[in-house]
Structure 1
Amino acid sequence: MQSRPLILVTNDDGITAPGIRTLIAVMQEIGEVCVVAPDRPQSGMGHAITVNDTLHLQRVSATESPILEYSCSGTPVDCVKMAVHEVLKRKPDLCVSGINHGSNSSINVIYSGTMSAAVEAGIEGIPAIGFSLQDFSWGANFEPTKSFVKKIVLEVLDKGLPQGTVLNVNFPKLTENEIKGFRICRQANAYWQEKFDKRTTPFGKEYYWLTGEFINPDKGEDTDEWALANGYISVVPVQFDMTAHHAIPVLNRWEL
Structure 2
Amino acid sequence: MAKRPLILVTNDDGITAPGIRTLIEVMNSIGDVIVVAPDSPQSGMGHAITINSTLFVEEIKIDEGKQREYSCSGTPADCVKLAINEIFDRKPDLCVSGINHGSNSSINVIYSGTMSAAIEAGIEGIPAIGFSLLDYNWNANFKATKSFVKTIAENVLKEGLPKGVVLNVNLPNLPKKDIKGIKVCRQAKANWEEEFDKRKNPQGREYYWLTGKFVNLDKGEDTDEWALKNGYVSVVPIQFDLTAHHCIQNLNTWKLNG
Answer whether TM exceeds 0.5 for this pair: yes
**Residue 88 (structure 1) aligns with:** 88
Deviations 1:157-176 (A, max 9, x none): 00000110000000000011
The alignment partner of 1:52 has SS state of coil
Q: Which runs of 4+ in 1 moved over 3 A?
A: none
Question: 1:10 & 1:108 partners in 2: Cα distance?
Answer: 18
Deviations 1:170-201 (A, max 9, x none): 00000111101111111111000001110001
Stretch of structure 1 that moved more, 20-29 or 201-210: 201-210
Question: 2:250 & 2:221 partners in 1: Cα distance?
Answer: 29
**Residue 115 (structure 1) aligns with:** 115
**Residue 212 (structure 1) aligns with:** 212
Code of the residue aligned with 2:132 in structure 1: it is S
Question: 1:20 & 1:52 partners in 2: Cα distance?
Answer: 28
Code of the residue aligned with 1:16 in structure 2: it is T
The alignment partner of 1:77 has SS state of helix
**Residue 229 (structure 2) aligns with:** 229
Identity %: 72
The TM-score with structure 1 as length reference comes to 0.97
The alignment partner of 2:178 has SS state of coil
Question: 2:85 & 2:39 partners in 1: Cα distance?
Answer: 19
Cα offset, 1:65, TM superposition:
6.6
1:143 and 2:143 correspond: yes
Question: 1:121 & 1:20 partners in 2: Cα distance?
Answer: 17
Code of the residue aligned with 2:89 in structure 1: it is K
The alignment partner of 1:177 has SS state of helix
Deviations 1:70-97 (A, max 9, x none): 0000000000000000001000000000
Please, which runs of 5 or more residues in structure 1 have no aligned partner? none
The TM-score with structure 2 as length reference comes to 0.97
Query: What does 1:41-60 correspond to in 2, within 5 Å?
Result: 41-60=41-60
Question: 2:165 & 2:3 partners in 1: Cα distance?
Answer: 24
Code of the residue aligned with 1:52 in structure 2: it is N
Cα offset, 1:66, TM superposition:
2.8
Question: 2:51 & 2:196 partners in 1: Cα distance?
Answer: 28
- RMSD of aligned alpha carbons: 1.1
The alignment partner of 1:132 has SS state of strand
**Residue 67 (structure 1) aligns with:** 67
Query: What does 1:120-135 correspond to in 2, within 5 Å?
Result: 120-135=120-135
Query: What does 1:9-24 correspond to in 2, within 5 Å?
Result: 9-24=9-24
1:99 and 2:99 correspond: yes
Please, which runs of 5 or more residues in structure 2 have no aligned partner? none
Code of the residue aligned with 1:250 in structure 2: it is N
Query: What does 1:21-40 correspond to in 2, within 5 Å?
Result: 21-40=21-40
Residue pair 2:28, 2:65 contacting (<8 A) in 1 also = no
Code of the residue aligned with 2:13 in structure 1: it is D
Residue pair 2:28, 2:66 contacting (<8 A) in 1 also = no
Pick closer, same or farther for the CA change 1:48–1:219 going to 2, 3 Å. Answer: same
The alignment partner of 1:34 has SS state of strand
Deviations 1:10-61 (A, max 9, x none): 0000000000000000000000000000000000000000000000000012
Question: 1:65 & 1:52 partners in 2: Cα distance?
Answer: 35
The alignment partner of 1:169 has SS state of strand
Cα offset, 1:138, TM superposition:
0.3
Question: 2:157 & 2:216 partners in 1: Cα distance?
Answer: 34
Question: 2:241 & 2:26 partners in 1: Cα distance?
Answer: 30
Code of the residue aligned with 2:239 in structure 1: it is Q
**Residue 8 (structure 1) aligns with:** 8
